[in-house]
């Protein structure tokens, strides 16, 4: 599993909305859509990893 602790800490401190706004301000409009799509893919991968871990832990408990 990937290490998300630093990112989680930043999101916890600033909030998801602020992080996304900061990213949007930092990127040019041409790069914005491409980078937001990448961020969405990263979130999807992260959610999948968390679901797999939960499924595995649930399996172990049974």
Q: How far is CA 9 from CA 6, 12, 51, 53, 57, in A?
A: 5, 5, 21, 21, 24
**pTM for the complete prediction?**
0.38
For 36, the domain range is 5-61
pLDDT exceeds cutoff 80 at 62: no
For residue 29, the model assigns a pLDDT of 67
- How many Å is the Cα radius of gyration of the chain? 15
Q: What is the pLDDT of residue 14?
A: 85
Residue 1 scores a pLDDT above 60: no
| pLDDT given at position 34 | 77
**Based on the structure, what is the number of domains in the chain?**
1
Query: Each residue of 3-49: pLDDT tens digit?
Result: 678 878 888 888 888 888 887 777 666 677 777 778 778 777 777 78
């Amino acid at each position: 599993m990937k290490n998300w602790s630093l990112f989680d800490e930043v999101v916890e401190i600033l909030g998801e909305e602020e992080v996304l706004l900061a990213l949007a301000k930092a990127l040019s409009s041409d790069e914005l859509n491409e980078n937001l799509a990448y961020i969405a893919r990263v979130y999807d991968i992260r959610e999948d990893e968390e679901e797999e871990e939960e499924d595995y832990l649930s399996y172990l408990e049974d």
